[in-house]
A and B are shown apart, each in its own frame.
Chain A
């Protein structure tokens, strides 16, 4: 079975220690977590983990089964990239002088549909949301000018199909 990118969505209670439990399931199987995001979900008091892993379907099935077995997990799903709408966000911190000295930077921002979040005397910050490759491309374009700081978030995603958490919650 070939390795593919999978997005695992976990709906859970918001309890201390659950992140450790979930990451431990990957650790036990020697599978790397490529990105991880924890946020609130569409349901009050229900948290959502979005985990990206590069593995086989057999293993992602196994992992999701083990995650779902955890007491505080309501439901876990896995999806391939074409079954989800997904994005990442990135921030670039760049020296302010460049914004005026290097006209090309403004074009890069415009062409990439990125936004300037703040401008101060010493630096300005660009925010860019999109697919991993789009962010990577923008990074490559800005790199020659000097990036003071760069950070990219974990993937967040929503699925094309419905995830019926409210209905599941009623069953418990």
Chain B
């Protein structure tokens, strides 16, 4: 960008420099503070790659082994850093391979900008080689998308793309750029976007709603907070903590909200949802006031909606007006950025302690500990459990690691047992449940937080969906720790088959390759353990390593994740076995 600015200064202020569209794209990315991007080249995006070659000292491009990996890496990067993740691909199959990552980022509100090449303007609609209607395909899974067909559109559209991706409720944006627009030259100048007519990213908080919320909180006998990712996206961690402490309210989290409040905080009562903690699920239907903060009442959180917190008044703190009354009726809706609204609420809330109410959570936790947690993290049986592996990682990392999980049993176990002492530490595919997310997301997470340990927890199923991204770890020496919890099954589906399909294990038994040899093929230090005596020392060795490290843990093949709210059941029907 400096070069552009310098050149601009040296000429008339109205006069700008004439550069190609492809070069303009690089200048836009630099102006938006992009340092790292993930992608895969191809015919229709080659002019941009040619510029990336020239600008490689300013902009790092990581060649993933599949475009899906590029999106998940961009997501991992965005989720740990709070910055916009960037992925780039060519037209046709390159573009369609982005779709899963776009859908994942859309449902989990992750800021991401995807750039795709497109056939030249004159060929649009002719079924040209590698032409696909990525605008049509990506429309339902993007916050915004746009096709650029003229070079001169690039600065304004790119500025708008970044603004839309990161403002308000964040989300993915796709910009499709025809090849002629990359090649043609035009007078370039760049101005960041700060507003778009017709788009209001953050609703203005209404003091009347905040006062009404405070009144409900101050008069509640059994208030209960459930927070989600909105706290992290809104950077409202301190405000949440202050509220919880001042008003003495037990608080639970959705998996997307995990790590916003220290796991060890006495008022952090655990996780809600299908495999969440016993107390928070049961108490959802016992509280007199449910305070939802930056969460969207996903069905995996609510169970059967008709029986969800019907006894309670509901306050919904939310940035997206479309979420209000979407699933659960809000008696008071507080629209706005969570940092701002919670900040305004705090002075209006009375100091309080709800000890007797909080004690019920502790009692329920003890029941859950005795029946489930104890056996998960301190098992007495021979086989290794997923829970004890997570617990050893907690110990070896002093609860400071970024935990990136894939999807399935190991994900639920990781979310249940990983301990967090700082925000943005739980990176997982929440809404979409994308198997294959973790390995590339861990790469992005590590690159977005180089000072932190990043541990990917992956099942043997999901690992093989994006295993090719080991190539990135190898080529770029990304020091991520990869832990595959191998139960030789697609564990969560197998669990459902056991519980609800009379143990008919249709296509859930995995015959796996030698994962250690595969990792070694990529020159990644690799170990396999299957006995408890080796667990602690191996995990300590892994965490002490400064290099990429692969660890396969052979765990019990038919363990189940409990507690569990069966699909379609009420949160009150949470099962301990």
Contacts and interface: CB of A to CB of B under 8 A. Distances in A.
A172 B195 contact: yes
B202 to A, nearest CB: 12
A142 B322 CA distance: 46
A71 B139 contact: no
Interface stretch (A61-69, A94-102, A110-118, A146-154): A61-69
A172 to B, nearest CB: 5
Contact of A61 (B144, B196, B198, B325): B325
B199 A20 contact: no
B198 A71 contact: yes
A74 B198 CA distance: 4
A7 interface: no
A164 to B, nearest CB: 15
Given A17-B145, A62-B326, A65-B326, A172 B199 contact: yes
Interface in B131-150: 135-136, 139-140, 143-147
Interface residues on B, range: 20 to 34
B136 A73 contact: no
B200 A71 contact: no
- Of A62, A65, A171, which is in contact with the most chain B CB atoms at under 10 Å from its CB? A65
Nearest to A70: B144
Contacts of A12: 198
A97 B120 CA distance: 54
Contact of A72 (B198, B320, B323, B326): B198
Chain A at the B interface: mostly helix, strand, loop or mixed? helix
A66 B322 contact: yes
Contacts of B140: 21, 24, 27-28
Given A71-B143, A169-B197, A172-B195, A20 B326 contact: no
B136 A20 contact: yes
A13 B143 CA distance: 16
Contacts of A24: 139-140
B112 interface: no
Interface string B181-206: 00000000000000111111000000
A99 to B, nearest CB: 44
Given A24-B139, A28-B140, A65-B321, A73 B326 contact: no
B322 A172 contact: no
B177 to A, nearest CB: 15
Interface string B231-271: 00000000000000000000000000000000000000000
Nearest to A18: B139
Interface string B304-339: 000000000000000011111110000000000000
B418 interface: no
B478 interface: no
B561 interface: no
B321 A71 contact: no
Nearest to B149: A16
A27 B139 CA distance: 12
Contacts of A74: 197-198
B301 interface: no
B345 to A, nearest CB: 24
Interface majority SS (helix, strand, loop, mixed), chain B: mixed
Contacts of B326: 62, 65
Nearest to B320: A69
A111 B192 CA distance: 62
Contacts of A21: 139-140
B164 interface: yes
A46 to B, nearest CB: 9
Nearest to B327: A62
A74 B136 CA distance: 22
A161 B147 CA distance: 37
Contact of B139 (A13, A17, A65, A66): A17
B252 to A, nearest CB: 26
Interface string A65-104: 1101101111000000000000000000000000000000
Nearest to A65: B322
Nearest to A63: B322
B135 A17 contact: yes
A169 to B, nearest CB: 7
Contact of A71 (B136, B144, B323, B325): B144
Contacts of A66: 322
Interface string B109-145: 0000000000000000000000000011001100111
A70 B74 CA distance: 23
Interface string A1-26: 00000000000110011001100100
Contacts of A27: 140
Contacts of B323: 65
Nearest to B169: A69
A169 B200 CA distance: 10
Nearest to A12: B198
Given A61-B325, A69-B322, A172 B139 contact: no
B199 A71 contact: yes
Given A24-B139, A69-B320, A172 B200 contact: yes
A171 B200 contact: yes
A18 to B, nearest CB: 10
Given A65-B326, A68-B322, A13 B135 contact: no
A66 to B, nearest CB: 6
Contacts of A17: 135, 139, 145-147
Given A12-B198, A172-B197, A71 B322 contact: no
Closest 7 CB pairs of A and B: A65-B322, A74-B198, A71-B144, A24-B140, A71-B199, A172-B197, A69-B322
Interface of B: 135-136, 139-140, 143-147, 164, 195-200, 320-326
Given A12-B198, A17-B147, A169-B197, 6 more contacts: A13-B197, A17-B135, A61-B325, A65-B323, A72-B198, A172-B200
29 contacts: A13-B198, A16-B147, A17-B135, A17-B139, A17-B146, A20-B135, A21-B139, A21-B140, A24-B139, A24-B140, A61-B325, A62-B322, A62-B326, A65-B321, A65-B322, A65-B323, A65-B324, A65-B326, A68-B321, A69-B321, A69-B322, A71-B144, A71-B164, A72-B198, A72-B199, A73-B198, A169-B197, A172-B197, A172-B199
Interface of A: 12-13, 16-17, 20-21, 24, 27-28, 61-62, 65-66, 68-69, 71-74, 169, 171-172
